[in-house]
A = this chain, B = another copy of it.
Amino acid sequence: MAKEKKAPRPKAQTPKGFRDYFGAEVTERAEMLQTIAGVYHRYGFDALESAAVETVEALGKFLPDVDRPNEGVFAWQEAGEGEGEAKPGDWLALRYDLTAPLARVYAQHRNDLPLPYRRYAMGPVWRNEKPGPGRYRQFYQCDADTVGAASVAADAEICAMLADTLEEVGIPRGDYLVRVNNRKVLNGVLECMGLADEDQRDAVLRTIDKFDKVGEAGVRELLGKGRLDASGAYIDGVGLSEAQAEPVVAFLTSGRLEASETLANLRAAIGVSQVGAEGVAELEEIAALLEAQGYGADRIVIDPSVVRGLGYYTGPVFEAELTFEILDEKGRKRQFGSVAGGGRYDDLVKRFTGQAVPATGVSIGVDRLLAALREKGRIGGKVPGPVVVTVMDRERMADYQAMVAELRNAGIRAEVYLGNPKNFGNQLKYADKRESPAAVIEGADEKARGVVQIKDLILGAKLAQDASLEEWKERPSQYEVPRKDLVAKVREILDLHA
């Protein structure tokens, strides 16, 4: 007989740029999303969940070429329809954010939705990008948007909600700042400089975006001839004269004060620009609305250095940054930085309907926010595992199952050891790996005498680490109690370590 060819075993690996989340990583995120949803709900926002999959046509930004979808999204073509698949199938793709699906949803369901439509959405998005350390191709976003409201009151509301949200998830006041700017003011400054060239305008915007990193002197260099960066590489400048660069620097350094001062500085920086004046007036209105609700400069400030990329924003833009310092991978102090951003975009729905629909919204980077809370020690403490009922006699599994049922009915997380019970040491090792607070033991002898042994594993571990022999003897970490007192004694131990 011919030898059977064995198929090679598949590799047990996540695809490149994807990862698995275990235990508290999952539940902490779920809790944070729930808290954020609570704030959004209180502000009148309604939940929306669209599918992960959209037509490439509806997503719009990335269009597949003939053979293969463009970079940026994960896309594929549906099987064709009809005789010999005469009609080619649609291109489908995984959503890359939650805003493009919102525009599609609003255009599709606009006759049934309230106007304005406040909605929140939370869930994973996918980017077909080169993964890097800490950069994944699937990550969570948590968005709130108001569609159909032209008033900047909608923008102000979202800034206030963002501040409330950060506090509610555990970032105390003083550890964050919501920074607000307006693209119209930026455009006014560029107009005032007499920059007609689109590429040069974009280059100036990108330079402004670097202000936080390189400071005033750095921006002056980058607007002019260029700059040697920290790594020794020479970065080409935009090529402006010092006189041309001056309004940009004046503009950039005019912020983070009381709103009234910043606004006065901005008014000077935009000169006679019409669009600039409109932008300043909008910021003024936002500042007034926020002040009326008690949001002072300790929570929300006007900050001209906020740019938010070169994307689709048309008016107010905002960003939430965490202001406390952390140590980076090289042990240097740096600010934690941005965890959320957004702004006004007025053209996304127009793609579908031809009618301009004003919209504004914010997106919270949930994974970064979780990392910040871990950094501050506000989450990620040890979560105790279940109480483990050990198996001394495999014929009496029913007795042990009855014990865990009692514990669970009392609301205590508990499980029976389900591995091979032969080696008792393995059972205790298992309890250790599960970070169990207590183990329950009932051998034939205990059964006969109507008692159980309960090991306090947290105390036991502590004693094993710190205690002298005398202490060990004085403070036993194992108790014998009547079987009927099982639940009470376990609860006593749990309360002791709570």
| A100 to B: closest C-beta gap in Å | 11
Residue numbers in B under 8 Å from A196 (CB-CB): none
Contact: B21 with A49, CB < 8 Å? yes
Q: Quick one: which of B30, B60, B92, B386 contacts A10, CB cutoff 8 A?
A: B60
Cβ of A44 within 8 Å of any chain B Cβ, yes or no, is: yes
**Interface segment out of the listed A112-120, A267-275, A468-476:** A112-120
Contact: A153 with B416, CB < 8 Å? yes
- Number of copies of this kind of chain in the complex: 2
Cβ of A88 within 8 Å of any chain B Cβ, yes or no, is: no
374-427 of chain A: CB within 8 A of chain B: 385-386, 394, 397-399, 401-402, 405, 408, 411-416, 418-420
Contact: A44 with B386, CB < 8 Å? yes
427-451 of chain A: CB within 8 A of chain B: 430, 433-434
| A211 to B: closest C-beta gap in Å | 31
Cβ of A253 within 8 Å of any chain B Cβ, yes or no, is: no
Tell me what chain A mostly uses at the interface: helix, strand, loop, or mixed. Answer: mixed
**Interface segment out of the listed A72-80, A171-179, A303-311, A325-333:** A72-80
**Interface segment out of the listed A182-190, A347-355, A454-462, A490-498:** A347-355
Q: Quick one: which of B47, B292, B352, B394 contacts A401, CB cutoff 8 A?
A: B292
Contact: B13 with A149, CB < 8 Å? no
Cβ of A289 within 8 Å of any chain B Cβ, yes or no, is: yes
Contact: A9 with B53, CB < 8 Å? no
Cβ of A18 within 8 Å of any chain B Cβ, yes or no, is: yes
Contact: B397 with A58, CB < 8 Å? no
Cβ of A148 within 8 Å of any chain B Cβ, yes or no, is: yes
Contact: A294 with B79, CB < 8 Å? no
Number of interface residues of A (CB under 8 A): 106
| A390 to B: closest C-beta gap in Å | 13
| A300 to B: closest C-beta gap in Å | 13
Cβ of A108 within 8 Å of any chain B Cβ, yes or no, is: yes
Q: Which residue of B lies closest to A44 (CB)?
A: B415
| A50 to B: closest C-beta gap in Å | 5
Residue numbers in B under 8 Å from A285 (CB-CB): 397
Cβ of A234 within 8 Å of any chain B Cβ, yes or no, is: no
Residue numbers in B under 8 Å from A203 (CB-CB): none
Contact: B419 with A116, CB < 8 Å? yes
**Interface segment out of the listed A154-162, A218-226, A312-320, A363-371:** A154-162
| A349 to B: closest C-beta gap in Å | 9
Cβ of A151 within 8 Å of any chain B Cβ, yes or no, is: yes
Interface residues in chain A, defined as those with a beta carbon under 8 Å from any beta carbon in chain B: 9-16, 18-27, 30, 34, 37, 41-44, 46-55, 57-58, 60, 68-69, 71, 74-76, 78-79, 90, 92, 94, 104-105, 107-109, 114-116, 118, 124, 126, 137-138, 146, 148-151, 153-154, 156-157, 160, 164, 285, 288-289, 291-294, 351-354, 385-386, 394, 397-399, 401-402, 405, 408, 411-416, 418-420, 430, 433-434
14 A-B pairs within 8 Å (CB atoms) are namely A11-B55, A12-B104, A12-B105, A14-B108, A18-B51, A19-B51, A42-B408, A43-B413, A52-B52, A52-B126, A52-B138, A74-B92, A114-B430, A150-B420
